């Protein structure tokens, strides 16, 4: 594999001249970016982490931000554990990352997997410290994919690939205060964190469990000018009367399909703001941004090299080659890129006029407000009902969560139908509620005479 | 059954299924404070499409999600009227 050595400045050096009015806020505290540049949260222990593979298992996003700034160009590898990582997976993930050090904070739960040669507790406050002159490392940034089951995959990025999408024009007129509904420990949030650092901006971090009304009010108090989230985040925010507390100049959507309704709602709510939606994933990076207020993307994006990003369709699915993609998976058998260097996104797009719109996932994973569902898993439960012959679980467009799952059910012809169809539907729903998390329980069930089966013998899952 | 009663019935049913406690259903109730969460409202919209035959949010591309129960009911009443006219 070709290794390109980067001479890009480290994150810490990028904030060396930070203006004193730049801050990173969370609900409880704030760091002055200028203090970060001249201080440490590691209590003088940064040198112990030099050249190591460091797992970042901090509980707060503020200490995560601090740790990432300190570790870039110092650690050999930084593996960022998102807050919802199952504790059962800690050991496997840290082993795969060959982690020999961990950074935690006050809120990190104890776990045997964190018993590594070096453990540094990141303080919730920055103290002034002499800046060490440590050997320059080409830090690998390892991000976890939002897996549905099993151990998440670990995608390897570099600082170069992460900041490649952040082009000119980021340094916008006037003071910029970024906010994001994402967690910065995932790709979408990390992008905003890096945009704030590179763009000379402040950043308002989200806090797990904070009511949306409080979060919006806090964003308003901090004077947020640029705000990013998924369409589901935005749909939820638009349901809150507190939405009136913010008046961003730029509104950004990514991570899910941005449909026309959410784009129009945001335009109506923030008539003065630019509304942009980005296509991005942990593996593919940010492929493109669309700023014309329309869903989908112009057909001209395909088969042209735009800023080093090439898109092509293979069997209706989008593939992306660019300096912004991750390089590889750690420890996985399957390659992250195909033989030509393209990342297969698995996202199906359809041509509509002079645009392409996203039709869904090739794998058929259904995304309900950011939670992913394999339809087969739900069908397996429904099919347990003695009177069910077969079932198809499919997404249905929904104004609140983007999608919701519904089920088409074919009943057995011979079975006795005690209580009629309504009773059977109720029984199926009860069965689902007994064994599935709420978001996987179909919102509605339709009894249908038949389901389409493709030539392969598999259920036809063509989502309309 | 009126549209309003249908909506309130469905809200109670979903609250039961999701193990949530509903606030008293008054017109000025802010939906976010009703006791149903995002998933609850997602299910509500899907169920109402089944029972009332309309989804006024997905049908109208520019529909804003209402803030209060009274406004939510109005969106459905308007949707039903528009369908009757069409």
Highest mean pLDDT among B10-19, B63-72, B73-82: B10-19
B65, A397: Cβ pair inside 8 Å?
Answer: no
Which residue ranges form the domains of chain B, and what is each CATH number?
3-81 (1.10.1200)
Q: Of A352, A387, A404, which residue sits at a domain end?
A: A352
Nearest in space to A155 (alpha carbons), one of A284, A324, A330 = A330
Residue A237 structure tokens: 């925010």
Res A169: pLDDT: 47
- The reply to whether A463 falls in a domain is no
CB contact under 8 A, A398 and B58: yes
Answer yes or no: is A407 within a domain: yes
Do A18 and A65 sit in the same domain of this protein?
yes
Question: Percent of chain A at pLDDT above 70?
Answer: 92
CB contact under 8 A, A236 and B41: no
HSE of A90, CA atoms in CB hemisphere, 13 A: 18
Same domain for A236 and A166: yes
Q: Is residue A208 part of a domain?
A: yes
Is residue A171 scored above 90 in pLDDT? no
Q: Report residue A5's pLDDT band, with 50, 70 and 90 as the boundaries.
A: low
Do A118 and A227 lie in a common domain? yes
Averaged pLDDT of chain A:
89
Same domain, A234 and A150: yes
Q: Rounded to an integer, what distance in angstroms lies between the CA atom of residue A254 and that of residue A191? A: 11
The C-alpha atoms of residue A341 and residue A338 are separated, in whole angstroms, by: 5
Reported as a single tens digit per residue, the pLDDT across A90-123 is 999 999 999 999 999 999 999 999 999 999 999 9
pLDDT tens-digit readout, A255-264: 877 878 789 8
Residues A299 and A416 in one domain: no
Relative to beta strand A297-298, strand A77-80 is: unpaired
Contacts of A322 (CB under 8 A, 6+ apart): A164, A284, A285, A287, A308, A309, A310
pLDDT, tens digit, for every residue of A146-158?
Answer: 654 578 899 999 9
Joined together, the tokens standing for residue A226 give: 């640029």
- A414: domain CATH number is 3.30.300.30
Residue A459 lies in a domain: no
Contact A226, A249 (CB under 8 A): yes
The ipTM, to two decimals, is: 0.90
A368 touches chain B (CB under 8 A): yes
A454: in domain: no
Within this chain, do residues A376 and A329 fall inside the same structural domain, yes or no? no
Q: Where does the pLDDT of residue A357 fall: very low under 50, low under 70, confident under 90, or very high at 90 and above?
A: confident
Q: Whole-angstrom distance between the N-terminal and C-terminal Cα of chain A? A: 41
pLDDT at position A360 = 66
pLDDT tens track for A199-218: 999 999 998 888 889 999 99
Residue A314's pLDDT is what?
94
Q: Is A232 on the interface with B (CB under 8 A)?
A: yes
Nearest residue of chain B to residue A429 (CA atoms) = B17
Please check whether residues A377 and A338 belong to one and the same domain.
Answer: no
How far apart CA A397 and CA A364 sit, in angstroms, is 14
* Residue A207, domain extent: 11-352
Which residues pair with residue A289 across a beta bridge?
A278
- Are A70 and A42 within 8 A, CB to CB? yes
Q: What is the pLDDT of residue A446?
A: 94
Q: How far is Cα A193 from Cα A221, in angstroms, rounded to an integer?
A: 19
- Burial group, residue B20, by CB count within 10 angstroms (0-12, 13-18, 19+): middle
Number of domains in chain A: 2
Give how far the C-alpha of residue A182 lies from the chain's centroid of Cα atoms, to the nearest Å: 7
Tell me whether residue A462 is in a domain: no
Beta-carbon separation of A264 and B58 below 8 A = no
- Residues A161 and A322: beta-carbon distance below 8 Å: no
Q: Which of A181, A233, A259, A261 to mutate to test the interface with B (most CBs of B within 10 A)?
A: A261
Cβ neighbours of B57 in A, within 8 Å: 261, 399
Tokens linked to A364: 């058929």
Q: pLDDT tens across A363-393, in order? A: 778 889 888 787 878 888 898 898 888 888 9
Residue B61, chain A, CB below 8 Å: the answer is: yes
CA of A221 to nearest chain B CA: how many angstroms apart? Answer: 21
Residue A4 lies inside a defined structural domain of this protein? no
DSSP state of B30: B
Q: At which residue do the structure tokens 């991750």 appear?
A: A326
How far is A54 from A71, CA to CA, in rounded Å?
Answer: 8
CB contact under 8 A, A443 and B65: no
Reported as a single tens digit per residue, the pLDDT across A260-313 is: 878 988 999 999 999 999 999 999 999 999 999 999 999 999 988 998 999 999
Q: Do B64 and A406 touch (CB under 8 A)?
A: no
Helix (H) or strand (E) holding A397: strand A388-398
Q: Does residue B59 sit at the A interface (CB-CB below 8 Å)?
A: no
A464 — pLDDT class (breaks 50, 70, 90): very low
For chain B, say whether A230 makes contact (Cβ under 8 Å): no
pLDDT digits (tens, 9 = 90+) for A51-102: 999 999 999 999 999 999 999 999 999 999 998 888 999 999 999 999 999 9
Which residues on B lie below 8 Å from A296 (Cβ)?
Answer: none
Q: Is A260 on the interface with B (CB under 8 A)?
A: yes
Q: What's the pLDDT band for A8 if we cut at 50, 70, 90?
A: confident
Residue A358 in domain: no
Instruction: Name the pLDDT band for A459 (thresholds 50, 70, 90).
Output: low
Asked if A329 and A376 sit in the same domain, the reply is no
Beta bridge pairs of residue A285? A281
Residue A421 at interface with chain B, using a CB cutoff of 8 Å? no
Q: Taking 70 as the threshold, does the pLDDT of residue A454 lie above it?
A: no
Instruction: Give the torsion sign (CA, A37, A39, A43, A46).
Output: positive
Do A370 and A315 reside in the same domain of the chain?
Answer: no
Instruction: Say how far apart CA A345 and CA A415 lie, in whole Å.
Output: 43
Q: Do B38 and A401 touch (CB under 8 A)?
A: yes
Among partner residues B42, B62, B65, which is closest to A238 by beta-carbon distance? B65
Predicted model pTM: 0.74
Based on the fold, state whether residues A408 and A318 are members of the same structural domain: no
Say if residue A154 is in the same domain as residue A26. yes
B41 touches chain A (CB under 8 A): yes
A111 vs A108: CA distance, rounded Å: 9
Q: Examine the domain organization and report whether A303 and A427 are in the same domain.
A: no
Query: What pLDDT, on the 0 to 100 scale, is given for residue A463?
Result: 45
Residue A230 pLDDT: 86
What's the pLDDT at A6? Answer: 62
The H or E element containing residue A226 is strand A226-229
Mutate to test the interface with A, among B36, B43, B79 (most CBs of A within 10 A): B43
């Amino acid at each position: 594999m070709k290794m390109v050595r980067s001479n890009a400045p480290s994150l810490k050096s990028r904030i060396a001249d930070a203006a004193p009015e730049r801050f990173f806020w969370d609900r409880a505290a704030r760091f002055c970016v200028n203090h970060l540049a001249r201080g440490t949260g590691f209590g003088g222990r940064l040198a112990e982490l030099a050249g190591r593979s460091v797992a970042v298992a901090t509980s707060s996003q503020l200490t995560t931000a601090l740790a990432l700034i300190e570790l870039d160009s110092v650690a050999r590898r930084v593996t960022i554990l998102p807050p919802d990582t199952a504790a059962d997976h800690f050991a496997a993930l840290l082993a795969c990352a060959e982690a020999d050090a961990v950074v935690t904070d006050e809120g990190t739960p104890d776990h045997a997997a964190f018993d590594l040669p070096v453990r540094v507790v990141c303080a919730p406050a920055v103290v002034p410290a002499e800046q060490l002159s440590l050997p320059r490392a080409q830090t690998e940034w390892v991000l976890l994919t939002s897996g549905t089951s099993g151990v998440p995959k670990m995608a390897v990025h570099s600082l170069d690939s992460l900041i490649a999408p952040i082009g000119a024009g980021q340094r916008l007129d006037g003071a910029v205060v970024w906010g994001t509904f994402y967690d910065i420990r995932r790709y979408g949030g990390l992008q905003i964190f890096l945009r704030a650092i590179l763009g000379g901006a402040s950043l308002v971090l989200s806090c797990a469990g904070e009511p949306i009304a409080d979060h919006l009010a806090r964003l308003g108090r901090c004077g947020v000018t640029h705000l990013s989230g998924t369409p589901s985040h935005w749909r939820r925010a638009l349901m809150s009367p507190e939405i009136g507390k913010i008046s961003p100049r730029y509104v950004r959507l990514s991570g899910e399909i941005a449909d026309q309704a959410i784009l129009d709602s945001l335009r109506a709510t923030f008539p003065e703001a630019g509304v942009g939606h980005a296509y991005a994933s942990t593996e593919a990076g940010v492929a493109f941004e669309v700023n014309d207020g329309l869903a989908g993307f112009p057909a001209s994006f395909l088969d042209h090299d735009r800023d080093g990003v090439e898109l092509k369709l293979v069997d209706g699915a989008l593939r992306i080659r660019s300096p912004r993609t991750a390089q590889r998976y750690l420890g996985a058998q399957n390659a992250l890129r195909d033989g030509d260097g393209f990342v297969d996104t698995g996202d199906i797009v359809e041509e509509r006029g002079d645009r392409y719109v996203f039709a869904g996932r090739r794998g058929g994973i259904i995304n309900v407000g950011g939670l992913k569902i394999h339809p087969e898993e739900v069908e397996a439960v429904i099919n347990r009902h003695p009177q069910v012959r077969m079932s198809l679980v499919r997404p249905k467009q929904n104004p609140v969560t983007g999608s919701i799952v519904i089920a088409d059910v074919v009943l057995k012809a011979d079975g006795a139908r005690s209580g009629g169809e309504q009773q059977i539907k109720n029984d199926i729903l009860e069965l689902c509620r007994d064994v599935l998390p709420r978001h996987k329980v179909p919102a509605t069930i339709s009894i249908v005479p038949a389901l389409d089966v493709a030539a392969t013998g598999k259920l036809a899952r063509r989502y309309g | 059954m009126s549209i309003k009663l249908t909506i309130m019935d469905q809200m109670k049913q979903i609250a039961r299924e999701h193990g949530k406690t509903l606030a008293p259903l008054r017109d000025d109730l802010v939906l976010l404070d009703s006791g149903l969460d995002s998933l609850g409202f997602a299910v509500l919209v899907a169920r109402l499409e089944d029972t009332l035959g309309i989804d006024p949010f997905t049908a109208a591309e520019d529909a804003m999600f209402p803030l209060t129960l009274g406004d939510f009911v109005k969106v459905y009443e308007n949707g039903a009227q528009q369908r009757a006219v069409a």
